Amino acid sequence: MTDWTPIATVSECPAGTSIERVVNNHVVALANTNGHYHAIDGLCPHQGGPLGKGFLCGTVLTCPWHGWQFDVVSGRHKLSPTVSQKVYEVCEQNGILSIRYSDAHSALSDAKGPKE
């Protein structure tokens, strides 16, 4: 079953930044690329670095520990096509950002919102 889970307010993740959140015991990196929100698995596969605390440039999020870089839209590592992070669908409703967990490993950003 997939559910929408609130993780932040719009004001907590301004344009050009990323933040870290823990949801259901999973670390999630939430990034704002000029008003478009993207969420990926927040633990770097290299050594578990905190991706949400990294540097965001465009859609590229750089791990603060060792510089591994991931596209927040696709979850793909910038140099190795075999390495990728799980991507979560994000929606904004009334200033609240929510993510939806699913088994899919594809990007579905800018959703219309939770189904009621």
Q: Specify whether the CB–CB gap between 88 and 51 falls below 8 A.
A: no
pLDDT tens digits, one per residue of 14-43: 999 999 999 888 999 999 999 999 999 999
Based on the structure, what is the number of domains in the chain? Answer: 1
CA 3 to each of CA 17, 42, 68, 85: distance values in angstroms, whole numbers, following the listed order: 25, 19, 30, 20
pLDDT interval class at 3 (50, 70, 90): confident
CB distance 92 to 11 below 8 Å: no
**Residue 74 covered by a domain:** yes
pLDDT at 67: 97
The pLDDT value recorded for residue 102 is 57
Query: Residue 104's pLDDT is what?
Result: 38
What per-residue confidence (pLDDT) applies to 75?
97
pLDDT at 91 over 80: yes
State the residue range of the domain holding 10. Answer: 4-100
Q: How far apart are the first and last CA of the chain?
A: 14
Asked whether residue 107 is domain-assigned, the answer is no
Residue type, 28: V
Q: Is the pLDDT of residue 12 over 60?
A: yes
CATH number at residue 73: 2.102.10.10
Mean pLDDT, all residues of the chain: 88
Residue 50, both tokens: 């905190």
Q: How far apart are CA 24 and CA 26, in angstroms?
A: 6
